[in-house]
Amino acid sequence: MKSHVWRPLFVVIGIVLLILIARQFLVPKDFGIHERGYMYGWYKKSNEEYWKTKIAVKYKSAEYCKDCHSDKYAMIMQTPHAIIQCENCHGPAMEHPSDPPKLAIDKSRAQCLRCHYPLPYPTSGRANIRGIDPEKHNPDVECSMCHNPHKPKIGGTK
Amino acid sequence: MINRRDFLKNAVKGIAGLALPLAAIEIVSPRKLFAAKGETGKESKIRWAFLVDTYKCVGCGLCVKACKLENEVPYDANVTRTWVERYVLTKDGRVFADTPKGARDGFTTSKIDLGEGKFQDIKKDDIQKAFFVPKLCNQCENPPCVQVCPVGATYQAPDGVVLVDRKWCIGCGYCIMACPYGVRFFHPVYKVAEKCNFCYHRITKGLKTACVQACPFGARMIGNIKDPNDPVSRIIRNERVSVLKDEYGTRPQVYYIGISREVI
């Protein structure tokens, strides 16, 4: 065969080789695929470690709170509000008390209305929760003025 | 007539010529490279699965709030890894569904958000059934988002959770379009695809996900479907549960109790 046929072929082979060599340097060592093949099998081990270790746990649960705030914990545990995590109103603990030293408490009416706005939906648990009409029931006043969220009955100790 | 010398020469050339492309395929097959490192073939003893009991959900949205803060999803941007939908089905067969701000602030009005600033109040007596449906990533066994990613930036970990490599993602958005459940979105800060990963940083430390922990009513549960004694695994095996868009063949791993066919 004439060289004008071979020459472009050599160029193509050269390009393929270049790509293969470049690939060796560019593709991370832990990048590959599982037995499932190219459709679903992509996998990168080091990135799994990123998600495992580089994200901070911010919500610590009531278990984290109960030793220092044992009085509040003991109080709320005797009420229907026992099912609510401290952090749902007090915000994520993060590294409290070192960081942040004080947590911002959500005392807004909207926070209480998440459950206590009456929606009488049959087949939903919402129908079983007692609610108030926020436009008629002492509007413009924080619920905690009268109701202690840790002891949610009028007159309960604050 | 071919002589011995030429025959051997050609034979060697031919074999070398055949072997070269085969060797090249070996080099470009990441599967082979990966197997050489001894990473494949080890099957995980964990397969995370999620269970949602819609009878228990009251639509308080505390799960959404906790998720956004835990996973550093910008709080006021209208994107979220998990959300709660409200379905109201009327006696005359109409279906209403809304999820204002992904239910981050719960449902504090009976008016259904129809979009474009329109709202509709439905009388109590007109309601046939109404309920709340929390949604999150289904961590599909056959994840379409992984299939369409042109750079292999999203992948399924051995325990079934689909993760996104934020460094490798080019932000093309194919996966956002491919997900039949609409759980993926563009992260406003990192400018890459973002999704629920069952709080991978928590579950791998033995904690519950932020949404499971925040739920006061136990409507959300997470467990290991490969462990026969796991409470979630028991319920999925022994009770009547369903999944979303089963017909897509994605084999989703978020199971629901108490949804009806209107839920999409």
Task: Work out how many domains chain A is built from and give that number.
Answer: 2
Spatial CB neighbours of B61, under 8 Å, sequence gap ≥ 6:
A114, B84, B102, B103, B104, B105, B106, B107
Do the domain assignments include residue A11?
Answer: yes
CB contact under 8 A, B201 and A27: no
Matching CATH number, B45-77+135-264, of 3.30.565.10, 3.40.50.1820, 3.30.70.20, 1.10.730.10: 3.30.70.20
Question: Do A93 and A125 belong together in one domain?
Answer: yes
How far is the C-alpha of B63 from the C-alpha of B40, rounded, in Å?
36
Of the residues A119, A129, A133, A137, the best mutation for testing chain B's interface (the one with the most B CB atoms within 10 Å of its CB) is A119
How many angstroms separate the first and last alpha carbons of chain A? 98
> Would you say B90 and B127 are in contact if contact means Cβ atoms under 8 Å apart?
yes
CB contact under 8 A, B88 and A34: no
Closest CA to B145 of B187, B188, B185, B189: B185
DSSP B114-140: EETTEEEE--GGGEEEEEEEEE-----
Spatial CB neighbours of B235, under 8 Å, sequence gap ≥ 6:
B51, B221, B241, B255, B257
- Look at residue A117 and give its three-state secondary structure: coil
Whole domain around residue A18: which residue ranges?
3-53
Give the Cβ contact number of residue A50 at 10 Å: 16
Do the domain assignments include residue A158?
Answer: no
> Would you say A124 and B55 are in contact if contact means Cβ atoms under 8 Å apart?
yes
CB contact under 8 A, B88 and A121: yes
Among A53, A71, A86, residue at a domain's last position: A53
Question: Do A77 and A8 belong together in one domain?
Answer: no
**Closest approach of B40 to chain A, Cα-based (Å):** 6
pLDDT by residue, tens only, chain B of 264 residues: 788 999 999 999 988 888 777 766 666 666 665 655 555 556 789 999 999 999 999 999 999 999 999 999 999 999 999 999 999 999 999 999 999 999 999 999 999 999 899 999 999 999 999 999 999 999 999 999 999 999 999 999 999 999 999 999 999 999 999 999 999 999 999 999 999 999 999 999 999 999 999 999 999 999 999 999 999 999 999 999 999 999 999 999 999 999 999 998
Dihedral angle computed from the Cα positions of residues A34, A40, A43 and A47, in that order, rounded to the nearest 10 degrees: -160
Give the Cβ contact number of residue A102 at 10 Å: 8
E strands, A14-53, are 31-33, 42-44
Give the Cβ contact number of residue A134 at 10 Å: 18
> Would you say A90 and A97 are in contact if contact means Cβ atoms under 8 Å apart?
no
pLDDT of residue B35: 54
- Contacts A84 to B, Cβ<8 Å: 62, 216
Task: List the structure tokens of A98.
Answer: 């070192």
**Closest approach of B3 to chain A, Cα-based (Å):** 22
- Contacts B107 to A, Cβ<8 Å: 114, 117, 119
pLDDT by residue, tens only, chain A of 158 residues: 677 888 999 999 999 999 999 988 888 888 877 777 788 888 888 899 999 999 999 999 999 999 999 999 999 999 999 999 999 999 999 998 998 999 999 999 999 999 999 999 988 999 999 999 999 999 989 999 999 999 887 765 44
- Look at residue B9 and give its three-state secondary structure: helix
Pairing of strands B48-53, B254-257: parallel
**Closest approach of B4 to chain A, Cα-based (Å):** 24
- Contacts B42 to A, Cβ<8 Å: none
Q: Which residue is closest to B168 within chain A, CA to CA?
A: A47
CB contact under 8 A, A55 and B106: no
CB contact under 8 A, A44 and B157: no
